[in-house]
Each structure stands twice: as structure tokens, then as C-alpha cells.
Chains A and B, each alone.
Chain A
Amino acid sequence: MSAQERGHTLGDTEQLGVLGTLRRGVQVSPQLVRGIGITLLLAVLAAGGKVVVPIAVQQTIDSGILADGGPDVHRVLWLAAGAVLALVLGGLCSAAVNIRLFRASEAGLAELRVRAFRHVHDLSVLTQNTERRGSLVSRVTSDVDTISLFVQWGGIMLVVSVLQVGVATVLMLVYSWQLAVLVWVCFLPLAVALHPLQKKVNRAYTRVRERVGAMLGAVSESVVGAETIRAYGVQARTQRTIDARVGDTRNAQVRAQNTVSVVFSSGVLVANLVLAVVVVVGTHLGIGGALTAGKLLAFLFLVQLFTGPVQQATEVLNELQNAVAGWRRVLGIIDTPVQVADPGPAGVPSPRGPAEVRLDGVRFAYPSGPTVLHDVDLELPAGRSVAVVGATGSGKTTIAKLVTRLMDPVDGAVRLDGVDLRQIRTEDLRRRVVMVPQEGFLFDATLAENLAYGLRDGAAPDRGALLSALDELGLTGWVNELPAGLDTPVGQRGESLSAGERQLVALARAYLADADLLVLDEATSAVDPATEVRIARALDSLTTGRSTLTIAHRLSTAEAADLVVVVDAGQVVEFGPHEELVADDGVYASMHAAWVAQTR
């Protein structure tokens, strides 16, 4: 993989280990470790609360029930009061630890989420397009959610477990180092076995996720392809596929759960076997005088403190690994270099006014792809309308993307009013140069909100301005026929409107954005000819004095333009006014003749 190619794909920061990920993660969201010292101190105190009962058992038995001279009720009462106090204090510390951990981690994760989100928008279109949209979304949603859920459940459990086992061990050592060592020796095989078991569990759940993904893929076909499925009557076949995937998912789930069940119940088995061992060995030690009955019985309670952590360990480790993997993916986004970088305040300001664009020796190739534009020199004069025509794949869309700086040329430069686009502040550039992509994306909001989307400062849509803009474009009649006029909800991705209507909205939105150079990419391919002509005419008169660059699919657009650029196989082969090119009898003339033949 070449360096350039790598630059266009998202990083996975895979080389980072667990510690490396943590370090980088903390670097990105320092909120995570704010006040961590106090939190840990409180956590140690909270863990202390866990050994209150074993101590109470030992004391009650040795100096209470089995005390020389019979049970000392008075002493036990004092003990109990002390135990209750210690339990309450431990509880308070534990609450404080939880709250502090949640606050810090959520603040850090929110920061992480927003930074990753922004970075996705800052990445070049090439990088954005190498990834499925869904996978980008999951990096700022489910990946971060995994971390958040881990902190809320597993993370707390991990901290509590480690401290709990630590405190229990210390107390065991105080009571009987021999038994303490024995308990550890008994649990060690399980601890050693944990890692491979956890890997097995992890593999099982990876399989479940894959199967769920495949199943949801099949389900989504039944929803997205509903029309096709009905038109061809292939319901039964689709259902068979879904049923098979549902069955696969079920089997993978059961298998994963069985693995977990085995691991979990082994924990139960070991913990209770340790109990038996402690009773046998402890009694022998006691006979030797090394241990009182109370201390031995307290051990039984202390062993309990090991059971929970051992049982949960595989699940917690699994969650931990998932969380780290998720974290790595999110950090991978943030660490992916931005190919089309904003020079920022250091850049050259670009004042408003008629826009003149020049392409100087521009060459462009997609990463690891062939060259799609060869050494193009082109001058688009200020205030004129220019149409780019050419066959599919000739490179005409590439020109539009270079002029709007969605991509940078490999060689040469694109200049706006003489300044290389790479040096112009992105904010200025976007204000002056606006593109209407072929697929007009609409947000799930009202028509008015969609129209106003391109307006600066996110100002509330001024209905008067919107209506007069629509009027200027000759679209008033169309809007009035909509169920609720400007307030009509357009649905998800604008799907309540037809493809042609969506293009109308996209066009009006771009017009409202009031740019110096408007770049239209076949933006009216799905409206009927009469409407298209009407809009073209309206745009024509409204963009007088402004520059427009249109990627023309229909030659009517080229006819209307001041200048026509003919692109063929990545080269500009003809350039000039429509009449001249038609008279020249070249590529354009024959394209035009073919077009006239198909429209009349």
C-alpha cells in the first residue's frame, strides 16, 4: 500500500496496545483522569468496608460465643456498633467513587465523541467514501457507547474487584499466611486459565456479532427492497434467507452462552472447592494451634470475596477488550490525517466578489487508480456561466470536485481569483463557492428548514426571504401544491418528495446560500423537461454577474451556457461558446446532433 493510499483510509491505530490506547485516549480526553488520585483513595476505603463482616465473624466467635467464660454479649454489642459504622462509611465512600468515576468518564467520552464526529466531516471526500457510512456512524455511536457501558458496569466492577481481592488477601495474611497462600494457590489455576477462556468467549461473541450483522443485512433487504420483492413476488425466497440467518444467529448465541456458562460455573465450582480445602487444611492448622476457630470461619467469608471477581472476570475482561477495541477505532478516526486541510487563520482571506477560476496544469488520479485528468489548463472567467460536457467517466465530475476543493489535484493548482485554493481559508472558500451535488440530500425536517440550511449563522428561516427566493426561481406554484407548503415535512432523506422535487429543493437551497460561484452537478436530471427549462431560465437570470459551472448531462444546459468545456478521456478537447463549437464540427458538434435527434 502506498503512502498516499494509506492516507485515504481510516486508521485503526492497531499498533497501539491496551496501554498505548489508554495513553492516547487520556491525551484526547484529559477529563478522564481528572481527580483520579482522590477517587482511588476513596475506592481503597470503600473496599475496606467489604471485610467488616469477616472481621465481625472472627471477633464474635473468638471473643464472643467461644470466649473463655462464656459469650460476652456486651462486647459483641460494641463490636456490632463498630461494624455498622464501618459499613456505612464504606458505603458512603463507594457512592462517592461511583459518582466521581461516572462524571469524569462521561465528560471525557462526550469530548471524544464530538471530536471524532468533527474529524469525520473534516476528512476529505475520498477518505469518507472509502468507508461505509454505517461504519463511520458506529465509530461515534456504538463504539463510544461500548466504552461508556464498560465504565458503568465492568469498569467499576474491575476497580472494586481488584481492591476487594487485595484487601481480603491482606486480612487473610494477618489471620494465617499459610491459609492465605493456599487460597491463592487454589485460585491461581483458574486465573491462569482465564486468559485462554476469555479468548474463547471473545471468539464466540465475535461470531455472534458477525451472524447478527448478516441477519440484519438480510432483514434490511426485506425492508429497503420491499418494492422489488413485491414486484417480482420473491417473498418466499427472501423469507428463506432471513430464516436461515435468524437460525444461524440463534445457534451462535447459544454456543456463546454455553461457553460463558461453563466458564462461570467453573468459577462457582472452584470457589466452593476452596471452601472444602480451607475447612480441611484450616482444621489441621487449628489443631496445631496456628489458628482459632473464629479466624478459620472468617476465612470462609473471605473466600467469598474472591468468588464474585473470579466469576465475573471473563465477562469483564471481554468487555474491557471490546471497549479498548472500540476506543482504538474512535481514536483511529481522530488520528487519520486530513488530506484536504484547512489552512485556517494562516490562510489567505478571499473577499466576496465575482469569482474567476483557473486550472493550471491540473492532473488528478484517485489513490492507486489511473490518472483521470491529464494536465488540464482552463480559465473560467468571472461572472460567466460555463457548462462541462463529456461522456460518463470522462472526468467532468472530477473538475467540479477540484474547483470546489472537495479534492486537491495531484499536480498543478486550482486558483480562485489567482490564489491557490489550498491557501484559502475553508470558511471563505465555502462561502464563495457552493456546489449542488447530483443527489440532493435533504434532512428529516420541514421544507423551510431544508431551504434555510445553507444560510450562515444558522439563523431561523425568514419565511419572507424563502418565499421570495422560491418565487424568483418560479417554484411558488409547486410549493403551494405541497400538503403544508413551506412547513411540509420532507421525511427521512427527503423521501416524501420525488427525486425531481428533491433536486428542486437542493437547487433553491444553494441559490439561497448566495455564493459567488455556483457549481451544479447534473442537478436537474430527474425533473421533467418543461420544469428543467423553467429552472434553467430562472437560474440564468438570477446568476447574472455570478459565475456558474454546470456539469451538464443534458445538452440544453450547454446550449444555455456562455461557454462550453468538452472533456474527453481526462482532457479538455474543446472550449468555447456553444455556437462556435457547433460550427466547428468537432466532438461537441456530433454530441449535440445526437442529442437534438433524441429530443425531437
Chain B
Amino acid sequence: MPPRSTPRRPATLTGSVTRRSALLLGRGISSQPGTYVLAIGTSAAFGAFTVAVSRVLGWATDTVVVPALNGDADARGRIWLAGGALALVALSLALSVAGRRVFAGIGVSDQQAMWRRGVTRQYLKLPMSWHRRHPTGQLLSNASSDVEAATNVFNPLPFALGVVVMIAVAAVALFTTDPYLAVAALIVLPLAVLANVVFQRKMSPAVTRAQELRADVADNAHESFEAALLVKSLGTEDREERRFADRTDQLRAANVRVGVVRAYFDPVIDMLPSLGSVLVLMVGVWRASTGAVDTGDVVSAAYLLTLMAVPVRAFGWVLGDLPRALVGQERLARVVDAEGELALGFTPLTRTAQGAALRMTGVGVEVPGPAGPVPILRGVDVDIAPGRVVALVGSTGAGKTTLVSLVPRLSDPTTGRIEVDGTDVRDLAADDLTAQVVLVGQQTFIFEDTVRGNVSLADPGESGAPTDDQVWDALRLARVDGVVCDLPGGLDAPLGERGSNLSGGQRQRLAIARALVRRPRLLILDDATSAVDPRVERDILSGLRSHTDGAGPTVLLVAYRMSSVALADEVLHLEGGRVVDHGTHGELLARDPGYRALATAYEQESERRAEARADALDDEAMAGDER
């Protein structure tokens, strides 16, 4: 959570529900002290003015209305005074209401902004392994609905605190008038508060359940619509409809359940102040008959009760929102308190004209599985000299992507070391590493930004931001300049949602331009050219060398296509998380049977088919002969 003191205080709350609730409210208020002083102050004023309205009415009844109607001439003279006094209180009341709402709103909005900045900082800081464990939908709802759940309780909070003041002032005013009348008026308040609390306690699990089911229905719809093409091609619309109707019906039942709770409590909560007013009238008549109170006192007390009908609900709102707030806060705290960000290194990586050297020693990666850790990579040793182009080849699921993602530190290995120019990547300054070692992934992520923004990944004018000429150079090298020229606006053309206005190959080439504009010394292409024409791919790679006067970057490329592999100086063959062989394409073909099977799969298949066809022809011929 942003204003973070050192040592960092965990956002996670511990202890009993009451303690956690108190901590939640206390921390929220103390995070915006100025705002809450104003919010609670205006709310307290609102409480006092509400009592004042009823007192002025009582006073007007006794000194103006009743005597005037009884023919008192003095009282007639005071009519305008009464009107003026009421108008003045009305204005003060309205101002205090406005103040309360404005400041309460600011408090909630500021807290929401604070949480959103806090969680997104973590999203950017925590490692990929953390991201893989957390579904996208969950992280998005952290920043939206969980933030709202955690903070909504602060909307009625100043109001509720003001009501405490209101009740205190009312009690004092009533007791100074007449203790019997005071008891008659106040006795219903605890009942009303109690009814509200019970109501909210009943209500909030029902609302939470409905909320969960709403999310469930949304997930179901989302998944089903994403699968629309599959559903159509397999003709499973009926099944999808049944599945959705089933969830929808559960949601309907839950919503009705919420409604039924409301249906019973609403009238009760409405009725209590009314019953209180009737009680006040009865007691009032008795006290008036003894001469202990005047008509105005009775009217004032009864009127106060009708005024308090809504405010006492504020307690219910706060108490009702608290369980949800605790759940929301807990989810946010889990993100904010998450550890595991990769430790930062500080050793600078010197930029030279040459490519970078890459060495891996004994690299192993394990991921947690149901039956203990599962190894993905085991004892991988790799040594790549500066400027070499190396292809990483292996079958689907061999661990290629995991291996290359260790170099720019998308995650760190479980065992072993990865060195760039002789320094462990964990010790290198992050900025230097990402500036000189660039990985282009299988899937291209396009930001909702212009072409320029997507290539430079910097704001114009930012220090170190590439110039437009440099961006065009990179686009040209990646053979995508023509595409950009054709876009309306060129570099300023906005790229739509996830780059939907580009084809797969164009997106990949744009991603390569994004890498090249940084003039990387080690370029890692993880199957990043699968949708690019082989000839274009060759042009791109050879362009890299000529562009840098022969001293091209070191390139590590993961590829399936033999045309891509052919561009490499040497080949690493990875199977089952181990390097099984290393050498030139020719050497591996000669001595590595697994590699040979992979490299010549199509060729052999063609031959096999040709033979099968020949056999079939022979069979036919033979069958013909026999006939």
C-alpha cells in the first residue's frame, strides 16, 4: 500500500474479525487524515442540525403556532421569526449534508486510487512465475471490483459517525425536556440499530453469494463466447445453453433470496421509527395531561424520530459492507504483500560494438507439481561466443521457451548460473540487461498505442527515446516499413485492441522491430518468425550483420523450420529438459538420431508416401495381371 513506512508494514490484517474491521477502518481513515477530518466534522454538524430542526419546530409550535391559533397577538408577530429560524437551520443542514457527501466521496476515491496504484506496482514488480499462478481475470478484478469492495464501506462511514453525534445531542436535548418522553423516544433507537445490524448480517452473505454467482455467470459467458467458433463447429449450442441456463437459474435463486431478506426487513426497519412516534405521542399525551411537557415538546420528539429513520440505517450500511470490505481488502493485501520479486542487481553491463557472450552452467528449473517438484530443465550447459547465431531445436514441450526466458530474467533458474559477458544475470543492473539482451516471444503483445509507441516503448521526448529515424531504421530492418507506410498516419497510426488491425506475420515483424530499435547485443527469437515468410526471415537476419558492419549481435533462435535453422552457425538440440547435442547442423544430422528425425521428418514422410504410392500402383498392376 503506497504510503509505506520502513520497515514495510504488511497490508494483511490479522486477529479477530472485530480487530480486523477496526484496523481496516482505522487505516483507511488515517490514510487520508485531512479529508476525513472534514468529512466527519461536516457529518457531526449534520447530526447536530438535524436535532436543531426538530427543536426549532417544537419551539415554533409552543411559542408561535399554538398561541397564535389561540388568538395570541404577540405570537402572530413571531410567525415570520419562526419561518426565518427554520429557513436558517434548513440552509445549515443542507450545507452540512453537501459537505459530508463531498468529503466522503473524495475519501473513497482517493483510497481507491491509492490501492490501484499499489496493486499495479506489484503487477509490474512481481516475476512471471507469480503471474502464471494468477489468472488474468483475477488480477483485473483485484484492480476493479476488489478495490471497490474494500473501500465502499467508507461511503457511509462518515455518515454513521455523524449519527453517533446526532443520537448524543438528541439524548441530551430530550432528557433536559422530560425523562419519560426521552425514554419513549430513544427506546426504539437501539431496536432500530439492532434490526439494521441483523438485517445487514443476514443480507451480506446473501449478497456475497449473489455476487459470486454473478461472476460465475460472467465467467461462463466469457468462456463460452470465446469458444464461439468451436461451439459452432461442433454444434454444441444446446449444451452451452443448458450450462448457462443452469448457472443463470442459480443466480436467479440467489437474487430472489437477497430480495426476500430485504422484503421482510425493509418494512420492519421502516415501521420501528413509526412505532416510536406513536409511543412518543401516547407518553406525550400523558405527560402533557400532567403539565410536565408542552405540545411542542411532543411534536419535537415525534418529529425527531421521523428524521432519524434514515440516518440510523447508516450503521447497518457500515456493518453490512464490512464483511465484503474485509474480503476485498484481504485479496488486495495478498497482492500488495506478495514477495518473490527478483532481487535487483547493480553491476553495470558495458555496451560494446560486439555481440554479448552467453554462458549457462548447470541450469535447472523445477516447477511445483501435484507430487512434488517437476523438473523442466536439468543440468543445461551452453556456451555461445559473441556474434554467433545459434539455433535451439527440440520437440514440442522440450523446455526451449523456459530456457531462453531465463536470460532476460523473466524468471530465475532453480539451480545453476546464467552469465552474460561473464557476469551472472542476477547481478546485472536490470536496465542494462533489458537494453542489451532482448527476447522476442512466441506471441506478440501489442500495446494500445501508436506504431511509434509500440516500437520505441518510450514516450516522445523521454531521455533515451529513439528518434523517428531510428524507429524507421528498425522497421526497415524488420521488413515491416512498407506496412507502416500504408497505415494512415504512419508512425502515429494507432494500433487497435492487441494489434487487431495487423496480420500475424506483421505483428511478429513489428515485435522484431521493437527489439532491433534497442540495438541488442544478444537477440533471442523464441519462434518469433513462425508467421514470417522464410525469405523475409533470412533477409532480416542477414540485415542484422550488414547493419552493424559485420559485428552483428549474438542471436539465439528457437525454431522449427529447417530454413530458419539453416541460418544458424551452430545448433543446440534440447530434449526432455537436457541438451542432448551441440554442433553444426551437418554434424548433428550425422550423429544425433533424434535431431535427424526432427530435421528430416518431412523429407522422410515424402519418401514414405512416394513408396506407399508406388506400392499401391504395383498392387493395382498385380491385381490387374491376376485378372
Task: Evaluate whether A110 and B271 lie within 8 angstroms (CB atoms) in the complex, with A53-B278, A272-B93 already known.
Answer: no
B497 is an interface residue with CB less than 8 A from chain A:
yes
Stretch at the interface among B192-200, B232-240, B326-334, B483-491: B232-240
Task: Evaluate whether A114 and B241 lie within 8 angstroms (CB atoms) in the complex, with A73-B285, A133-B226, A498-B397 already known.
Answer: yes
Stretch at the interface among B172-180, B382-390, B560-568: B560-568
**Interface residue ranges of A412-435 to B (CB < 8 Å):** 426-427, 429-431, 434-435
Query: Do B266 and A137 touch (CB < 8 A)?
Result: no
Query: Do B65 and A492 touch (CB < 8 A)?
Result: no
Question: Which residue of chain B is the closest to A305 with respect to CB atoms?
Answer: B306
B509 is an interface residue with CB less than 8 A from chain A:
no
Q: Considering the chains assembled together, what is the distance between the CA atoms of A185 and B128 in angstroms?
A: 66
Task: Evaluate whether A529 and B598 lie within 8 angstroms (CB atoms) in the complex, with A56-B277, A224-B136, A406-B233 already known.
Answer: yes
B275 is an interface residue with CB less than 8 A from chain A:
yes
Task: Evaluate whether A226 and B225 lie within 8 angstroms (CB atoms) in the complex, with A232-B438, A250-B113 already known.
Answer: no
Residues from chain B with a CB closer than 8 A to the CB of A26 are none
A190 is an interface residue with CB less than 8 A from chain B:
no
Chain A's nearest CB lies how many Å from the CB of B141?
Answer: 10
Question: Which residue of chain B is the closest to A82 with respect to CB atoms?
Answer: B278
B117 is an interface residue with CB less than 8 A from chain A:
yes
Residues from chain B with a CB closer than 8 A to the CB of A269 are 90-91, 93-94
Q: Considering the chains assembled together, what is the distance between the CA atoms of A243 and B140 in angstroms?
A: 15
Query: Do A560 and B605 touch (CB < 8 A)?
Result: yes
**Interface residue ranges of A96-129 to B (CB < 8 Å):** 96, 98-99, 101-103, 106-107, 109-110, 113-114, 117-118, 120-122, 125, 128
Query: Do A530 and B598 touch (CB < 8 A)?
Result: yes
Residues from chain B with a CB closer than 8 A to the CB of A346 are none
Main secondary structure of the interface of B (DSSP, over half): helix
Partner of A229, one of B124, B401, B561, B598: B124
Q: Considering the chains assembled together, what is the distance between the CA atoms of A391 and B527 in angstroms?
A: 21
Q: Considering the chains assembled together, what is the distance between the CA atoms of A387 and B590 in angstroms?
A: 33
Query: Do B89 and A94 touch (CB < 8 A)?
Result: no
Q: Considering the chains assembled together, what is the distance between the CA atoms of A215 and B397 in angstroms?
A: 36
B79 is an interface residue with CB less than 8 A from chain A:
yes
Residues from chain A with a CB closer than 8 A to the CB of B405 are 227
Stretch at the interface among B7-15, B98-106, B419-427, B541-549: B98-106
Chain B's nearest CB lies how many Å from the CB of A106?
Answer: 5
Partner of B143, one of A60, A142, A216, A268: A216
B156 is an interface residue with CB less than 8 A from chain A:
no
A265 is an interface residue with CB less than 8 A from chain B:
yes
Stretch at the interface among A8-16, A282-290, A324-332: A282-290
Query: Do A272 and B270 touch (CB < 8 A)?
Result: no
A181 is an interface residue with CB less than 8 A from chain B:
no
Chain A's nearest CB lies how many Å from the CB of B218?
Answer: 4
Partner of A501, one of B91, B310, B397, B459: B397
The residue in A71, A224, A230 that gathers the most chain B C-beta atoms within 10 A of its C-beta is A230
Query: Do A273 and B87 touch (CB < 8 A)?
Result: yes
Query: Do B69 and A286 touch (CB < 8 A)?
Result: yes
Task: Evaluate whether A437 and B82 lie within 8 angstroms (CB atoms) in the complex, with A224-B445, A293-B66, A556-B606 already known.
Answer: no
B378 is an interface residue with CB less than 8 A from chain A:
no
**Interface residue ranges of B434-451 to A (CB < 8 Å):** 434-435, 438-442, 445, 447-448
A4 is an interface residue with CB less than 8 A from chain B:
no
A178 is an interface residue with CB less than 8 A from chain B:
no
A344 is an interface residue with CB less than 8 A from chain B:
no
Residues from chain A with a CB closer than 8 A to the CB of B530 are 525-526
Chain A's nearest CB lies how many Å from the CB of B95?
Answer: 7
Task: Evaluate whether A280 and B255 lie within 8 angstroms (CB atoms) in the complex, with A216-B144, A223-B131 already known.
Answer: no
Chain A's nearest CB lies how many Å from the CB of B62?
Answer: 11
Interface size on A, residues (CB 8 A): 172
Give 1 or 0 for each of A237-250: 1 = CB within 8 Å of chain B CB.
11110110011011
Query: Do A114 and B101 touch (CB < 8 A)?
Result: no
Stretch at the interface among A168-176, A253-261, A358-366, A542-550: A253-261
B25 is an interface residue with CB less than 8 A from chain A:
no
Query: Do A80 and B65 touch (CB < 8 A)?
Result: no
Query: Do A286 and B603 touch (CB < 8 A)?
Result: no
B624 is an interface residue with CB less than 8 A from chain A:
no
Residues from chain A with a CB closer than 8 A to the CB of B152 are none
Q: Considering the chains assembled together, what is the distance between the CA atoms of A454 and B91 in angstroms?
A: 69
Query: Do B602 and A556 touch (CB < 8 A)?
Result: yes
Query: Do B240 and A301 touch (CB < 8 A)?
Result: no
Task: Evaluate whether A99 and B263 lie within 8 angstroms (CB atoms) in the complex, with A121-B224, A529-B602 already known.
Answer: yes
Q: Considering the chains assembled together, what is the distance between the CA atoms of A431 and B233 in angstroms?
A: 9
Query: Do B140 and A216 touch (CB < 8 A)?
Result: yes
B259 is an interface residue with CB less than 8 A from chain A:
yes
Task: Evaluate whether A253 and B109 lie within 8 angstroms (CB atoms) in the complex, with A121-B228, A152-B262 already known.
Answer: yes
Q: Considering the chains assembled together, what is the distance between the CA atoms of A77 and B285 in angstroms?
A: 10
Q: Considering the chains assembled together, what is the distance between the CA atoms of A505 and B128 in angstroms?
A: 26
Residues from chain A with a CB closer than 8 A to the CB of B131 are 223, 226-227
A322 is an interface residue with CB less than 8 A from chain B:
no
Give 1 or 0 for each of B33-65: 1 = CB within 8 Å of chain A CB.
000000000000000000001000100110011
B260 is an interface residue with CB less than 8 A from chain A:
yes
Give 1 or 0 for each of A563-600: 1 = CB within 8 Å of chain B CB.
00000000000000001000000000000000001111
Chain B's nearest CB lies how many Å from the CB of A175?
Answer: 14
Chain B's nearest CB lies how many Å from the CB of A550?
Answer: 14
Residues from chain A with a CB closer than 8 A to the CB of B66 are 66, 293
Q: Considering the chains assembled together, what is the distance between the CA atoms of A240 and B449 in angstroms?
A: 14
Q: Considering the chains assembled together, what is the distance between the CA atoms of A321 and B598 in angstroms?
A: 63
Query: Do B68 and A283 touch (CB < 8 A)?
Result: yes
Query: Do B82 and A484 touch (CB < 8 A)?
Result: no
B351 is an interface residue with CB less than 8 A from chain A:
no
B27 is an interface residue with CB less than 8 A from chain A:
no
Query: Do A392 and B505 touch (CB < 8 A)?
Result: yes
Give 1 or 0 for each of B401-421: 1 = CB within 8 Å of chain A CB.
100010011100000000000
Query: Do B270 and A65 touch (CB < 8 A)?
Result: no
B343 is an interface residue with CB less than 8 A from chain A:
no
The 3 closest A-B pairs by CB, nearest first: A430-B235, A233-B434, A102-B259
A–B Cβ pairs within 8 angstroms, 18 of them:
A49-B274, A65-B288, A76-B285, A101-B259, A113-B248, A125-B228, A128-B225, A221-B445, A223-B123, A234-B458, A235-B124, A286-B69, A293-B61, A430-B234, A441-B229, A498-B396, A499-B442, A509-B234
Instruction: Give 5 new A-B contacts, CB below 8 A, not counting A230-B409, A579-B613.
Output: A231-B408, A260-B101, A268-B94, A296-B65, A429-B235
